[in-house]
Amino acid sequence: MNRRTQQEMEEIEEQEADYVNASRGAVAKERTGAGRRFLLLIAVCWLMLLAIMGLRIYLTSELSGNNAELYSQIKELQTRENNLKQQIQDMTTNWNELNISRAQWSIDSYCLGNTDDKCIPCQRGWDLTEPSCNAYNSPPPPGWKTWEEAREDCKGKISDLAVAHDSEEKAAINTDSFGNSGFWIGLRVVNKKWKWVDGSDLTNGSFNAAPADGRCALFLKKNRWSSVSCDETHQWICQKKALSV
């Protein structure tokens, strides 16, 4: 009886030892699997971290390149702006200098060289017909001009072709030197109407020529006007406002 008991006890102890060993093996295997999963998780985390760092470096590089390009464009625009400001300043300076030169020229031409030391209402070479000054341009035929050419010549003299709104102004610019060839005045057909170069309509009823396109007015002697082609060449009258003295 005691032998069985002792044998049974040995068997029980052997079974317990086997169980313990099996449990230890299972635990060891479980620990090994958990360790592998942990290492795998760490590896994945490192890969993700490296990917994030790489993406950050790439984006930083791209942004730096874009910023450099934008900065370059901004600098170029600033340079252009500065150049435009300088050009505007230069143009303003030139304009002011030109105005001063014109003012001085006007003073010289109206006021200097007069025996009584007084300014005159019209420059030398211009005739006073209140309230205007007129210049009768009467070169020989090779120097005659079309209506447009004559007007450009007057503009170059800071004036325009002569205007005569009424009979008094018409009589004022009349001269015996007109002859039969006539002088261009500032009247032409615009949109089927006779118009003066100052933009006003013809109101003088004594001139009834048909307002045909391409026609301009020619001033003849004895206060007569004639409608002729604007492309013909003739002498011309320039007119500007007289200086109040």
- Give residue limits of the domains in the chain: 1-119, 127-241
Please choose, from the candidates 119, 97, 99, the residue with its C-alpha nearest in 3D space to the C-alpha of residue 109. 119
Q: Which of left, alpha, beta for 216 (phi over 0: left; psi -120 to 50: alpha)?
A: beta
pLDDT in tens, the chain (245 residues): 455 566 666 666 666 556 555 556 554 555 666 677 778 888 888 888 888 887 888 777 777 777 778 878 888 888 888 888 887 877 766 665 555 445 445 565 666 555 555 777 888 889 888 788 999 999 998 999 999 999 999 999 989 999 998 888 888 888 766 667 899 999 999 999 999 999 999 987 778 899 999 999 999 887 789 999 999 999 999 999 888 75
Residue 129 has a pLDDT of 83
* Residues 160 and 186 sit within 8 Å (Cβ to Cβ): yes
Q: The domain 127-241 is classified under which CATH number: 3.40.50.300, 1.10.10.10, 3.10.100.10, 3.40.30.10?
A: 3.10.100.10
Taking CA atoms, 176 is separated from 93, 142, 180, 200, 237, in Å, by 46, 22, 10, 27, 14
Q: Which single residue is written with the structure tokens 């109040």?
A: 244
Contacts 24+ apart (CB under 8 A), 42-46: none
Residue 1 has a pLDDT of 47
Residue 200 has a pLDDT of 93
The whole-angstrom separation of Cα 159 and Cα 218 is 18
**Predicted TM-score (pTM) of this structure:** 0.56
Q: Which single residue is written with the structure tokens 């013909």?
A: 232
